[in-house]
Structure 1
């Protein structure tokens, strides 16, 4: 009885919450090592070379070797840099990237914070992510990092507008800003996924939602500074952009923060458009399993979907040439913004006049 009463106290709830956070962060960080390896392997495969294949069987330990290398290197800070801001920038980027995972539901009930405004929370956290890059570029006291950070600020602000409008179409279709509710609305088979209009009764708006899924995917590339939109760190123009003066652990934090955001975007695409943990076909025998078995079954599907979209991210990096900066801005403001704005109007009209009873 005493043990049970302890978990009901604020101290007990704090320990439970910390445990939940660790259950998300630790597997995520381990998975990132293999995501990084997969990214390099995909790129190598497209270029018909082997990629990392020496450290460990099939090169599986290459990312861990890189981790040890970065940690053991000396931290070099430029003489004219603002040292406090210089070191704070990668920490901020890394922390904000991890904080976003607090509202991601991995399976039914498997979420650290199941808040009703989860989508709004994620949008706010992603908006703050640009500050770490701006701080890093400014504190380096060099023109190339500063130009890279300014590019990143303009790029992320531009594509956040399109992502926001795309998210509004999903909210209108699902009637909720809770990510778990959005996934539950897509149960019953792949034809109920939001990318296909959220059900056969909404087949009229399927082309609109499919276009929104494509725009979200491309905007996610720009939001995370991934090729072909890696203008903030364009090696041919800015050496390495806002990261050029960083080495050792601070550089590693920037790199991990960027990779965490990429995987987060893969998870968001899966949750909002492709059913999250929902299987493509709703097998009846699955409902007879225990709740724990169903949760692991859903977790498996969510992980597979994230891996698929990460594969697409890797393929885009390998086969699509880098955009010019004017092309990047034109695509965001003259194509994606009006298209997503029109889509919001169409989905809202459908909900009011055609799909209100759906």
Structure 2
């Protein structure tokens, strides 16, 4: 895209800036549209499981209900409590929303369809997701109310405890793929399962890690059964209690953008990303982005399914699961996977060399010249 703007006579620096801005908008606008649609889908799935109709009045089949709700909160007055720290109170939802969008910069939707295909994309995701706790903590503290503050403390402890497990799960994936680049991780899953299944989920060592990752994704995004940050019976609405209007909407947009992010990470790390489920030539006729979206929606359906059927955990159960079950389990699998790879992948280095009198000399074409016995010094 930068070359296109340069061909129009634009300066290289400005061409790069405009191309980057266009890339950001091409991700941000569809993402906001997707958030509105998955809120509607979320409510429809809950209603179907509970034998209700769900949204069905605004627009065909109620599909415009999310947009009507968004217009309503946009037109409402933003009320800031008199005892609140006004600067931090306003800044908290902005940080939550912004951080949720920043993580999508390295998500590949298809081969080559990514805003920034950096080599440390997985580390970038881990770093950005760790920042989301600041928005929640700032909201709880700035509200100057005990219920939001309790919720913020819960959120900080919950998100940190499950991010530790997620970090070790990512180590397991990186060990198998040999890279932190998300596109390369997807390609490493091509034909991984017995030569015909595209995905690490088929691996007996990585499948338990996907189960832990999926459950940790629920806890990371404060979804049922881990929505202790806004448990209605205890905390009214948690850290969002004092928020209204667009400030409240920014929290919701950030929350659902994070949910979509975790669904896409499940897809990219364990289920082959944009690759078809089976390594069969006719399936590749379907565009990769279609496979990516279908898999991401499947995981979102699982998120909604769990929310409609599983009761909420107690807080002590939540922390026990994170620190006493998932953390030791993920550590054990890091050892198992690294040991297995050492046993199955370790080979003596192979050199493309020819006998020569001067050992270790490298020619212009990259060939290493061996010693008289054909061995490197």
Give the TM-score range, shorter chain. Answer: over 0.9
Unaligned runs of 5+ in 2: 348-377
- Measure, in 1, the Cα distance between the counterparts of 2:83 and 2:325: 41
* Length, aligned pairs only: 341
* Cα distance between partner residues in 1 of 2:283 and 2:50: 42
Aligned position for 1:70: 73
Inter-CA distance 331–159: structure 2 relative to 1 (3 Å threshold): same
CA distance in 2, matches of 1:51, 1:356: 56
Q: Which secondary structure state, in structure 2, belongs to the residue aligned with residue 336 of structure 1?
A: helix
| Cα distance in 2, alignment partners of residues 311 and 221 from structure 1 | 12
What TM-score do you get using the length of structure 1 for normalisation?
Answer: 0.92
Aligned-residue offset at 1:128: 0.6
Matches within 5 A, 1:142-153: 142-153=145-156
Q: 2:310 aligns with which of 320, 330, 334?
A: 320
Please give the per-residue CA displacement for 1:288-341, whole angstroms capped at 9, x wherever unaligned: x7xxxx7xx100000000000000000000000000000000100111000010
Match of 1:43 among 46, 57, 61: 46
SS class of match (1:154): helix
Q: Which runs of 4+ in 1 moved over 2 A?
A: 5-8, 188-192, 281-287
Residue in 1 that maps onto 2:342 = 352
| 1:284 to partner: Cα distance | 2.4
- What does 1:111-260 correspond to in 2, within 5 Å? 111-188=114-191, 191-197=197-203, 206=204, 208-260=205-257
Report which of the two structures shows the higher radius of gyration computed on alpha carbons: 2
Instruction: Write the distance in 1 (CA, Å) between the matches of 2:198 and 2:52.
Output: 40
Distance 2:220 2:10 in 1: 40
- 2:370 corresponds to which residue? none
Provide, for residues 67-124 of structure 1, a one-character-per-residue CA deviation record: whole Å limited to 9, x for no partner.
0001000000001000010000000000000000000000000000000000000000
- Is structure 2 residue 292 aligned with structure 1 residue 302? yes
Aligned to 2:333: 343
Residues 174 and 141 of structure 1, relative CA distance in 2, 3 Å threshold? same
Give SS of 1:129's match: helix
Equivalent of residue 25 in structure 2, options 22, 40, 46 = 22
- 3-state SS of paired residue (1:303): helix
Paired residues of 2:276 and 2:283 also in contact (CA < 8 A): no
TM-superposed CA distance for 1:277, in Å, is 0.2
Q: Is the 8 A contact 2:197 2:279 kept in 1?
A: no
1:11 paired residue number: 14
TM-score by length of 2: 0.88
Partner of 1:49, secondary structure, is coil
| SS of residue matched to 2:213 | helix
Computed over aligned residues only, the root mean square deviation of the Cα atoms, in angstroms, reads 1.6
CA contact (8 A) 2:126 2:167 kept: yes
Residue matched to 1:271: 268
Quote the offset at 1:5 in angstroms: 6.8
CA 1:325–1:190: 2 relative to 1, 3 Å? farther
Q: Once the two structures are superposed, what CA deviation does each residue of 1:200-231 show, in whole Å capped at 9, x if it has no partner? A: xxxxxx1x211000000000000011010000
Higher normalized contact order (CA 8 Å, seq sep 6+, divided by chain length)? 1
Q: 2:87 is matched with which residue?
A: 84
